[in-house]
Amino acid sequence: MLLVIDVGNTNFVLGVYEGENLINCWRMTTGGNRTADETGIFIHGLFDASGLDANKVEAVIISSVVPDIMYSLTQGIRKYFGIEPMIVGVGMKTGIIIKRDDPKTVGADRIVDLVAANEIYGGPAIVIDYGTANTFDVINEKNEFITGFITPGISSCADALYQKAAQLPKIEIKAPKSIIAKNTVDSFQAGLVLGHIGQTRYIIEQLKEQLNLPNMKVIATGGLAKVIDPNNEIFDVLDPVLTLKGLRILYEKNK
């Protein structure tokens, strides 16, 4: 079995593969204060709770955008799984040519998503990941990462408004039933979600037009992607585990 771990600013996502089959996955809160023992025991416990034998894990690969958590995570894996984890970083074989001023500054999560999109769906494609931040990245038919940018995530915007506006409540992030809002919660949800839907549509339109790639596939992933396109009108592919797939592919390329 292969354990794949994607560490984001808000959540960990962990998956277990047998060959090419994802047999289980879990989500846990990213926390910077856990010890190596706490982290290792918790992850080992996920296997026990799911009826999986942690002793069958033969390899681990980690992608992280949170440097502060890496010591406890890697030490926990070493101690409780007896495995030296592979870390996604500079120098890995990816199959992607990064056409950026400083390729070293591109987040590991973005590279992992692009690898999965390229290998599974092919370019040209816009790959959108909805998380703490939203990333919009473009890969062409030559396996080149040609442009990309970052916008504030939906939950980040909601949290910022909740913290800064004294009379705004903490809300569930979901698509409103109607744009005609008649109370504070509906108004907040409508502005937040519909604003991000409009942003997504405009960015896709502009990328296709300015890159002269009108037939680019639009591939989306991330916990809130479904909120943006509940009726399957914007994305060509909605793949909730794209990053986990990319980690498996990267492991196979670099083992």
Q: Which residues are catalytic?
A: 109
- Asked whether the beta carbons of 213 and 124 are under 8 A apart, the reply is yes
- Asked whether the beta carbons of 139 and 100 are under 8 A apart, the reply is no
Q: What sections of 100-240 are H helices per DSSP?
A: 108-120, 154-164, 184-189, 195-210, 225-228
Burial 131-161 (b: 16+ CB within 10 A, else e): bbbbbbbbbbeebbbbbbeebebbbbbbeee
Angle between helix 70-81 and helix 36-49 axes, rounded to 10 deg: 60
Rg for the chain (alpha carbons), in Å? 19
C-alpha to C-alpha distance for 230 and 11, rounded to whole angstroms:
22
Retrieve residue 16's tokens: 């277990």
For the four alpha carbons of 25, 43, 65 and 9, in that order, the dihedral sign comes to positive
C-alpha to C-alpha distance for 110 and 133, rounded to whole angstroms:
11
CA distances from 5 to 8, 41, 124, 162, 185 (A): 10, 15, 27, 30, 35
C-alpha to C-alpha distance for 22 and 108, rounded to whole angstroms:
21
